Every structure is written in C-alpha cells, then in structure tokens.
Amino acid sequence: MNLALMAVSMVTKTEVENPIFVQQPIENIFEFAVTPGVANKFITPEQMRLLAEIIGEKGTLEYTPDHRFIVKLPTEEPKSVVEQLEHSGLIVMPIGDVLNIKACDFCYGEKAESIPYAEEIASELGGLKLPKELHIGFNGCGMACYRAVFDDIGIVYRKKKFDLFIGSKPVGRTAHAAQPVAEGIEPDELLPLLKRIIDEYKENAHPNERLFKYFKRVKKIQHFHYQDMSSKIEVEPAPCGD
C-alpha cells in the first residue's frame, strides 16, 4: 500500500478569505501525517529544516498523541511535497479514519528483533480506510511501556512470539485496556490473523463505530469471544454517550 499516494488523494478544498471579492477563490489544503519511522522517534535537523521550509508561513505542524505530526498546508503540488519529505527519510501517511501503527522505540533500537514485523504490518495495513480510526500498538517486549494494550489492537512481542489484545476503549473517563485474546502467536501467523480481524471489522462495523464498540455489539471477532473489560466503578454518564 502506498501511504504517500493515499495521503495525496486526501487533499481538500477550502475557500480563501478575501473581503474584496464576493466569489471566494478556492485553495487546496493538503493534510497529512508525518513521522520519522515506525520504530525511530528522532527527527534530524535536516528534516526539521525541510519541514519548516515546506510548511512556511501559511501551514501548520501539530503534535498529536498518536506518535506523529499532522501537517496542513495550502499547496497545488502535494506530490512534490511528499517526494521531498520521503527523500529526506520521513514517512508520509493519510489521516482520518485510517489504520495507524504506533510502535515503541524498541529501547532505542536495542531490542530490535521484532522491528521487521512492525514495519511489515505498517507497510501492509498502514493507511487502510476503515469505519473509524484504528490504532495498532506494537511493543517490542513484555514491559509494553508504550502502552500497546491501550490501543484498539495491541501486539506485544514476547519469547519470539506475539500476544494479542483487542478492543481497548482508549479515551474518555471510562477508558479501559484491551482484552487479552491470544498468547504465543507464531510470527508467520500474526499478519494473516490481523488482516482477518481488520477485514471483518471493515466489512461489518457501522460508520463511526470504533473497534471496542463493534466487539461489544457482535460479541465475537474471528474466534475470539468478547469479555467485558469496562470499569466496574460507576461514573456520571456523559451527555455525549462517552
């Protein structure tokens, strides 16, 4: 899947404010996510300079809790923007209701054994359009210090195999961890299993239905049965449904 091409296809059109003309001119706004890598969390000075130059006075760079920056800038040349950023080693991704991989830094690369699996998942599934945003947390050891079990799908590498967690409620006052559904998944079985889970969710979820809500509604994803992981402490219901 070409993440950059997907990002380019998401250019939106916005009216430019101009008090003189009744008919406002239309401006193309290119919105995309940018990150230094699946495992790498460091942006080089050259990459920073390039980002500052590309964003200029009219664009914005926003830090997010999802391990990536969101860039918004008016441009008629989104492909050229992507080419420059990719040439500098940055990864450009689409934003919105798409699949995002949030890997740990693998102890600054010292526990690197499982990085290729995280990168393969990112290249196969990253940017996939879904009924609602979906984050796959991938952590390189059982410490799970990047909180993979608090992502929609959590993957933890342990003893050369993988543990799988599904259906966290990542935000809100009733947030909770994902349900542990499998331990000791063989490396060659992980990606096919993830694809089946995501295909099932994509095919059957309602628009805007996050994975935890879907799991709670249908009670079974693949052969994994739903268990209630929600907090047993009562809190005042939120008007938005939280």
HEC assignment per residue over the chain: CCHHHHHHCCCEEEECCCCCCCCCCEEEEEEEEEECCCCCCCCCHHHHHHHHHHHCCCCEEEECCCCCEEEEEECCCHHHHHHHHHHCCCEEECCCCEEEEEECCCCCCCCHHHHHHHHHHHHHHCCCECCCCEEEEEECCCCCCCCHHHCCEEEEEECCEEEEEECCECCCCCCECCEEEEEEECHHHHHHHHHHHHHHHHHHCCCCCCHHHHHHHHCEECCEECCCCCCCCCCCCCCCCC
Q: Is 150 in the site for ligand SF4 (CB under 6 A)?
A: no
**Contact residue for ligand SF4 among 139, 153, 165, 168 (CB under 6 A):** 139
Q: Tell me the site size for ligand SF4, rule CB under 6 A.
A: 12
Q: Mark 106-125 with x for binding to ligand SF4 (rule: CB under 6 A) and - for no binding.
A: xx---x--------------
Q: Mark 8-47 with x for binding to ligand SF4 (rule: CB under 6 A) and - for no binding.
A: ----------------------------------------
User: Which range binds ligand SF4 by CB under 6 A, 7-15, 47-55, 121-129, 136-144?
Assistant: 136-144
Q: Is 104 in the site for ligand SF4 (CB under 6 A)?
A: yes
The contact set with ligand SF4 (CB under 6 A) reads 104-107, 111, 139-141, 143-146
